[in-house]
């Protein structure tokens, strides 16, 4: 039987020489390596799988809507229509923001303004809030009237209806307006008549009645034939011819033209 030959000694001992290892593949972010025995190695970009829609679909940013909030038609204007309700002690401020197309905006303006014309006056502060609300609605009204006819809506636009001045609520507006117009001069007249306590100068021969006491006289000129007449202003007490007759009363100096003379008041009864 033949004996096998002994192993040949390698550079590190009596073992067989190790085969050169193959270079490990580089990761996705490793720099390119030098050419090996099998050619140069080139790194590839990582594979990104396409995104799949989630259970509620893919998300996208909401796009702004420029259509009317009531019918979806355009063009539309961004405007807020306001209303007011007076309830004697309480009051309510109403508002409905846009956008509105021309027809829906005019219909909303006319409806809320008409309601304000008959619901907004019933309260002390509402007398001032109602005119302000009606004036604020003139801006949206002008914006709606400048728009073109509405098109492309998902439902028909509202019917604007009759103009505000031809609605019954406009006639109801005349009632508080007329009341305010007449109340101011009436209050002025009442104040003048109630506050007219200035004594009027007496003239000899006039008949008067005293509605106060003698320390706080209130002499009113009265017809001498009237049963209410109490005294006759005869003459000034310092006039030539002597003093007042026995039993006469003296009027205060404020009832004389000069403001310093005492008139004699002779009783009629």
Buried b (16+ CB within 10 A) or exposed e, 167-189: bebbeebeebeeeeeeeeeeeee
User: 84: burial class by Cβ within 10 Å (0-12, 13-18, 19+)?
Assistant: buried
Structural element, H or E, at residue 113: helix 102-119
Dist. CA 206–CA 239, nearest whole Å: 17
Token code pair at residue 231: 């005294």
Structural element, H or E, at residue 85: strand 80-87
Dist. CA 121–CA 85, nearest whole Å: 8
Q: How confident is the model at residue 80, as a pLDDT?
A: 95
Q: Is 199:254 a contact under the CB 8 Å cutoff?
A: yes
Strand bridging mode 207-210 / 249-250:
unpaired
Phi, psi of 94 (to 5 degrees): -110, 150
Q: How confident is the model at residue 113, as a pLDDT?
A: 92
Token code pair at residue 186: 């009436």
Listed in sequence order, the DSSP H helices in the chain are 102-119, 126-136, 138-145, 168-194
Q: Is 204:233 a contact under the CB 8 Å cutoff?
A: yes
Q: How confident is the model at residue 82, as a pLDDT?
A: 95
Q: How confident is the model at residue 50, as a pLDDT?
A: 55
Q: What is the CA radius of gyration of the chain?
A: 53
Strand bridging mode 90-97 / 219-222:
unpaired
Q: How confident is the model at residue 92, as a pLDDT?
A: 92
State if pTM tops 0.75: no
- pLDDT, block means (10 residues), the chain with 269 residues: 54 51 52 52 52 47 65 93 91 93 95 90 87 93 94 93 84 68 74 63 84 82 87 76 77 79 83
Q: How confident is the model at residue 76, as a pLDDT?
A: 95
Q: Is 86:128 a contact under the CB 8 Å cutoff?
A: no
């Amino acid at each position: 039987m033949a004996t096998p030959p002994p192993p040949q000694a390698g550079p590190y001992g009596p073992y067989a020489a190790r085969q050169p290892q193959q270079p490990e593949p580089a990761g996705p972010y490793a720099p390119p390596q030098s050419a090996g025995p099998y050619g140069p190695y080139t790194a590839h970009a990582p594979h990104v799988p396409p995104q799949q829609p989630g259970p509620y679909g893919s998300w996208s940013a909401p796009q702004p809507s420029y259509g009317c909030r009531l019918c979806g038609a355009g063009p539309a204007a961004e405007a807020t229509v306001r209303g007011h309700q007076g309830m004697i002690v309480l009051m309510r401020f109403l508002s409905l923001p846009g956008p509105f197309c021309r027809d829906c905006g005019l219909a909303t303006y006319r409806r809320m303004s008409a309601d304000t014309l008959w619901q907004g006056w019933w309260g002390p502060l509402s007398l001032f809030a109602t005119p302000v609300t009606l004036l604020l609605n003139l801006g949206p009204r002008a914006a709606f009237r400048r728009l073109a006819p509405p098109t492309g809506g998902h439902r028909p636009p509202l019917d604007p209806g009759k103009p505000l001045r031809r609605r019954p609520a406009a006639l109801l507006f005349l009632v508080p307006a007329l009341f305010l117009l007449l109340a101011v001069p009436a209050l002025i007249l009442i104040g003048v008549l109630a506050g007219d306590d200035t004594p009027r100068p007496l003239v000899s021969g006039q008949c008067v009645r005293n509605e106060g006491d003698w320390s706080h006289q209130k002499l009113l000129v009265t017809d001498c034939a009237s049963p209410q007449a109490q005294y006759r202003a005869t003459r000034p007490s310092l006039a030539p011819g002597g003093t007042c007759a026995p039993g006469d009363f003296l009027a205060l100096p404020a009832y004389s033209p000069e403001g310093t003379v005492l008139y004699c008041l002779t009783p009629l009864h």
